[in-house]
Amino acid sequence: MLFGADSGLPNLSRYTTSEEKLRVLENYLLLLLENLRYTLRNLTPDNFNQQELSAWVDTLRAGQVVAETIITRELYSQYGAIADLTVDSLRTDWKRAVNYLEEDTSPIHYITIHDEEISLCTATTDGTSTQQLERNGQCYWWTDAACTQMTTEDTGLPVTVYCYRELVKAQFCFAPVKLANGADAVMPVLTFGAGTGATAQAGKGYVYKHTTGMDLHYHTSDGRNIASVCFQDDGFVDWSARRASVHVDTQKGCITVTPEGSAQPISIACRQQEDGLALTWPDGAVFTVTTS
């Protein structure tokens, strides 16, 4: 049965139409499938190469693929831990170990993923050092003086790294959001900036899409004000805290507003009423200002 697998691909140049070539390939695939079934059904301890299997497993163990990557929580590279890889966490700050070996104190940039958060981070160091730990507190050790591999077994060769101060420069995660109608919702939110520390949100920008539009908010560095751009489902764009020049003409009963960056002013009709003012916008909307 195995002779068909050794015959090579069929010569399709003998056939002129795509249908004929496809039929020949289908027949060849069926032949390979039958060969595979025959081989798997007839594998026994007598004809299975146990020596080659053992050699392959020994190769994996020598490279610490089985011992270090699959069984433990860490993934290693030539120079150290390239990721803290589990079912709920991933880090790409592998340059911590590399930079110390190269005496490089420049900032490092990396990504972390855990739970429902993806963070883009920048870390800086003042040159002080410490021993590298895995997230459960175990120390890392070099397996040899050449620093080619890491382990959590004490070899007397500690993996030393610089102490870094981490800043999250951007983040993508699920977060609670207060909608314009007052409702609360949990949705994916993009956050930009590490913030100033004046408040939890000061100096940060937020972008999120909800069912009736998309909002962009920037919290000022002192945390006192919010500048917003809201794209509405009705096709309008609402601006918050946009600069504008305002001119009031009492004789014509008109207020002219020219938003910063706009070439066309907005004319708002102003009409005196017994209890205040009635303001009529270009789209016909009326806003009443009453006096008490």
User: Of the given ranges (165-174, 191-200, 206-215), which has the lowest mean pLDDT?
Assistant: 206-215
Q: What pLDDT does residue 63 have?
A: 46
Token pair belonging to 202:
């000061």
pLDDT-based confidence at residue 90 (cuts at 50, 70, 90): confident
Q: In Å, what is the CA distance from 167 to each residue of 111, 112, 160, 187?
A: 11, 12, 21, 23
The CB-side HSE value for 280 (13 A sphere, CA atoms) comes to 8
263-286 mean pLDDT: 85
Q: Which residues contact 200 (CB under 8 A, 6 or more apart)?
A: none
Beta bridge partners of 133: 139
pLDDT at 113 over 80: yes
* pLDDT tens profile 11-60: 777 777 878 878 778 777 777 777 777 777 766 666 666 676 666 656 55
* pLDDT tens-digit map of 219-252: 999 988 888 998 888 888 888 777 788 888 888 8
Question: How confident is the model at residue 65, as a pLDDT?
Answer: 43
Minimum mean pLDDT among 117-131, 210-224, 253-267: which range?
253-267
